[in-house]
């Protein structure tokens, strides 16, 4: 199976966007950060079904893409906080539209939303 590479130039805007926010967890992490800064442990608890390794990898990718910022405090135990960047905040209206569309589809398809 061929591994996806961010080094491949996108063919269009949709390709570019989904290279940045596609996948199972990126949108969910961005959505959780809409309310403000969260620590790693808080993200781990609120983004269900994600392993620590995958959370760390996804956070790194979002940071590399300039969608979130990471602040490390030098203390014991280590404290790391994640916040949306200005670019990350620009995505929120689109994530809201996507959420609203999904809610409509769930109603149409008799799917019960999780709380």
pLDDT 10s digits, 54-76: 999 999 999 999 999 999 999 99
| Residue 71, beta-bridge partner list | 81
Q: What pLDDT is stored for residue 115 in this prediction?
A: 56
Going from N- to C-terminal start, the domains of the chain cover: 13-108
Q: What pLDDT is stored for residue 101 in this prediction?
A: 92
Q: What is the CATH number of domain 13-108?
A: 1.10.10.10
Distance in angstroms (rounded) separating the CA atoms of residues 110 and 60: 36
Q: Are 67 and 88 in contact (CB under 8 A)?
A: yes
The fraction of the chain above a pLDDT of 90, given in percent, is 70
Distance in angstroms (rounded) separating the CA atoms of residues 66 and 91: 12
Q: What pLDDT is stored for residue 1 in this prediction?
A: 37
Distance in angstroms (rounded) separating the CA atoms of residues 104 and 50: 26
Residue 47: pLDDT band (50, 70, 90) is: very high
3-state secondary structure of 65: coil
Q: What pLDDT is stored for residue 111 in this prediction?
A: 85
pLDDT in tens, 16-34: 888 889 889 999 999 999 9
């Amino acid at each position: 199976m061929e591994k996806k590479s961010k080094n491949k130039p996108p063919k269009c805007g949709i390709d570019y966007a989904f290279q940045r926010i596609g996948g199972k967890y990126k949108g969910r992490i961005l959505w959780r950060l809409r309310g403000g800064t969260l620590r790693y442990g808080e993200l781990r608890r609120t983004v269900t079904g994600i392993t620590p390794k995958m959370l760390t990898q996804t956070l790194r990718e979002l940071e590399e893409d300039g969608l979130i910022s990471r602040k490390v405090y030098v203390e014991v135990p280590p404290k790391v906080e994640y916040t949306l960047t200005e670019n990350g905040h620009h995505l929120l209206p689109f994530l809201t539209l996507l959420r609203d569309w999904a809610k409509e589809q769930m109603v149409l398809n008799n799917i019960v939303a999780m709380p």
